[in-house]
Amino acid sequence: MIRALMIEAENVTCFHDVAEAPLGAGQVRVGVRHIGLCGSDLNTFKGLNPLVKLPRIPGHEIGGEILAVGPGVDPAYAPGRRVIVMPYTNCGECTSCRKGRLNACRYNKTLGVQQDGGLAEEIVLPAEKLILNDTLPPRHLALVEPLSVGFHAVERGRVAKGDRVIVLGCGMIGMGVLIAAVARGAEVIAVDLSEEKRALARQFGAVEAIDAGSEDVAAKVSELTGDDGVDVAFEAVGLPATFTQAIDLACFGGRVVYVGYSKAPVTYQTQFFNLKELDIMGSRNALMRDFQNVISHLEKIGDKADALISKVFPFEEAENALPYWDSHRNALKIVIERGG
């Protein structure tokens, strides 16, 4: 038996002993060492995630160590090596998969959402869903997946050097967008209610950080862009107001990328879609190349990435992590660390 943390019901988490999964052909047993909590985990805890059936073991931002391998696994996946988990599935047959967009598989089952996740002592996964990495600090392995979602959104938005970009929402996904856009040479404006997150956005290269609670965002963007608007607007909040705001802030001939998703219907004045001839795109999950790009970037910036981690909980205290985040919403990334 192994220990795993379950979200049993709304606002209720508890450790359970669960059966150790068998190790089959092509599979790897991974000892979970670091796991980041995502907004989807918090929504599950709050009873706000319609994709989840409780009870559920949460967690899909996973860094670990190989414990054992099944038959047919490449010898490179040797016990003791560190790995990053790609937590999505892909059927290989739906329209997205046939187009090579495996991240948007129609039948995807993300760990911790549609299936039990990694907030456990160990997990068994296909070798193809593991990325070997012995160079990053172990704690940074759990940052790769959430940052990859932002990097993928920037790829979707075709951000290029000299673009003016706005990021609505500077949570972990928004920070991934910001970091990727800055790396491409874009001029990035960050928007958030949190003073701490705005300061972090500046630390990672935002040229301006607007307080959405006290400033007129549209007026400030108009001032900063000479009334043009931004080339690319990223929505990473998930509110109807920011969904429509992204359309308003984009320039004529601009692009809008939705990374968040609204839990309520969104009403638009659709003439701006046509008058501005906007490219409006959704963005979901990430591809292998996005993970690799994040890994390369984290290797360049080193310990600077520690600033993205707000608090670390020992695995033994993981029951306290989601309640803590629920009462400290300005926290960026909560990481659970397991030794041994």
What average pLDDT does the segment 151-178 reach?
98
Contact present, 179 and 329 (Cβ < 8 Å): no
Contact present, 187 and 209 (Cβ < 8 Å): no
Tokens matching residue 117 = 């996740």
Q: Kindly tell me if the per-residue pLDDT of 339 is higher than 90.
A: no
pLDDT, position 319: 96
Q: In whole angstroms, what is the distance from residue 180 CA to residue 159 CA?
A: 9
Phi, psi at residue 191, to the nearest 5°? -135, 125
Among residues 100, 150, 114, the alpha carbon closest in space to that of 259 is found at: 150
Contact present, 164 and 185 (Cβ < 8 Å): no
- Beta-bridged to residue 192, according to DSSP, are 211
Position 163 confidence tier, pLDDT thresholds 50, 70, 90: very high
Question: What is this structure's pTM?
Answer: 0.96
CA 57 to each of CA 8, 15, 230, 257: distance values in angstroms, whole numbers, following the listed order:
9, 10, 40, 30
Tokens matching residue 166 = 């706005």
pLDDT tens figures, 90-146? 999 999 999 999 999 999 999 999 999 999 999 999 999 999 999 999 999 999 999
pLDDT tens figures, 43-96? 999 998 888 999 999 999 999 999 999 999 999 999 999 999 999 999 999 999
Q: In whole angstroms, what is the distance from residue 17 CA to residue 317 CA?
A: 16
Position 261 confidence tier, pLDDT thresholds 50, 70, 90: confident
Phi, psi at residue 52, to the nearest 5°? -110, 135
Phi, psi at residue 232, to the nearest 5°? -140, 130
Amino acid at 301: I
Q: Kindly tell me if the per-residue pLDDT of 258 is higher than 70.
A: yes
Q: Kindly tell me if the per-residue pLDDT of 340 is higher than 70.
A: no
Share the mean pLDDT of the chain. 97
pLDDT tens figures, 7-25? 999 999 999 999 999 999 9
